[in-house]
Structure 1
Amino acid sequence: MNIKPLLNYITNFVVLTEAEEAFLTSKVIYRKYLKGQYILQQGDICKFQCFVISGCTKTFYVDDSGQEHIVMFSIADWWASDMGSYITQTPADYNIQCIDKTELIMFPYDVMEELFSEIPKLERFFRKIIERGLVASQKRVVRRFSLSAKDRYLYFRNQYPKIEKLIPQYMVASYLGITKEFLSKIKAQLLEEE
């Protein structure tokens, strides 16, 4: 199991002893997914918080008309989960699908309390992760309502250059809340301005 990237990431927030690292390793699940495979489907209960070792996932909602709305991408050192479903153990609002071959470290819901009990500093770690996720989500909502589509694209391109190179443009458009044709117009306009 390739858990070293996770341990390195955790070190940014808390320091684990060797015994704590060994206990954590014994409780998490390492899994590989193929491009196109689902980690979670809308309506199922989210059983895992997933740390991405490699690859890329998209978190999205499909509305009643079948339209896909991407709310998040996750690449290496990022997290993928439907937190509402995970915390409440109720049906998921979102799908999580692999855009590329993806390796994950998965934290099962049914062992989290044991992890928190045995390694209390993990509770602090997850609190910090959830706080960061909440702040990012709130800022995204503000950008969605306050920035033009062009400015949202420029922000996305500047903040997440690795992601833009990994995913098809129609997914970028869905994430930005615009059509792929409109995104093409924005990109053409930016080329003219250069």
Structure 2
Amino acid sequence: MQSLRTFFAQHHPLKATTMRQATALFSPATLRKNHFFIREGEIARNLAFLESGIVRGFYRKDNGEEFNKVLFSAPSFIGDYASLICGRPALVSQQALTDARIWVADYRQFTLLYETCPDLERFARKWAEAIFVQKEQREIELASLDAARRYHNFRKAFPEVEQQIPQYHIASWLGISPSHLSRIRRKITVT
């Protein structure tokens, strides 16, 4: 629970009463490797704080191929936000790539606190803005950088992840084939 408190404080300081009310909504849980937090087609009801572990958000193309849209590494929030906000079925599944410790809260209960805790609403806005900036940066990188540069940026952004998950998940996140990633990695080790 301390890591959740620290996460809140890093994004926006909360009053002690707000912190107590917000953290009281979260219950500890374990998300085992390969288990899902949410699957495509389900309507999201919960968000979770990822205290440890790695979770991927992915979708399937029409041909069945999976594309890793996002990688979450601790500390972070997970949950299908479009489904949470709009009440529509999730388009993206979220699956643990490692065993993960999470703290789960009912999203509706969390957002109800905004009425009496404007500092929590401000936290949520700042956090959403940070996610928006990350998402935009990722989209620009996918469109404008070559695969080697995207891989370099991945290693900077997720230095602890590469040794913990299969390379094909990294390749998918980079938008390249596993064999292309192998060639890039060989070039790096040679130079």
**TM-score in terms of structure 1 length:** 0.93
The structure 2 residue matched to 1:137, chosen from 111, 114, 135, is 135
Structure 1 counterpart of 2:133, which letter? V
SS of alignment partner, residue 12 of structure 1: helix
Q: Which residue of 1 aligns with 2:52?
A: 54
Unmatched 5+ residue regions in structure 1?
none
- Identical-residue share of aligned pairs (%): 28
SS of alignment partner, residue 42 of structure 2: coil
Structure 2 counterpart of 1:169, which letter? Q
Confirm or deny that 1:161 pairs with 2:166. no
Q: CA deviation digits over 1:154-184, x for unaligned, max 9? A: 1111221112122110100000011101110
Q: Which residue of 1 aligns with 2:32?
A: 34
Structure 1 residue runs of 4 or more that deviate by more than 4 Å after TM superposition: none
SS of alignment partner, residue 160 of structure 2: helix
Structure 2 counterpart of 1:156, which letter? F
Q: Any conservation in 2 of the 1:73–1:163 contact (CA below 8 Å)? A: no
CA RMSD, aligned part only?
A: 1.4
Cα distance in 1, alignment partners of residues 59 and 176 from structure 2: 15
Cα distance in 2, alignment partners of residues 14 and 148 from structure 1: 35
Q: Which residue of 2 aligns with 1:103?
A: 101
Q: Any conservation in 1 of the 2:44–2:83 contact (CA below 8 Å)? A: yes
Structure 1 counterpart of 2:130, which letter? R
Q: Which residue of 2 aligns with 1:69?
A: 67
Cα distance in 2, alignment partners of residues 28 and 122 from structure 1: 14
Q: CA deviation digits over 1:105-125, x for unaligned, max 9? A: 223122133221232211000
User: Mean Cα displacement is larger for which, 92-101 or 153-162?
Assistant: 153-162
Structure 2 counterpart of 1:141, which letter? E
**TM-score in terms of structure 2 length:** 0.94
Cα distance in 1, alignment partners of residues 124 and 94 from structure 2: 20
Confirm or deny that 1:90 pairs with 2:92. no
User: Mean Cα displacement is larger for which, 151-160 or 36-45?
Assistant: 151-160
Unmatched 5+ residue regions in structure 2?
none
Q: CA deviation digits over 1:44-80, x for unaligned, max 9? A: 0111222110111111001221101001111111222
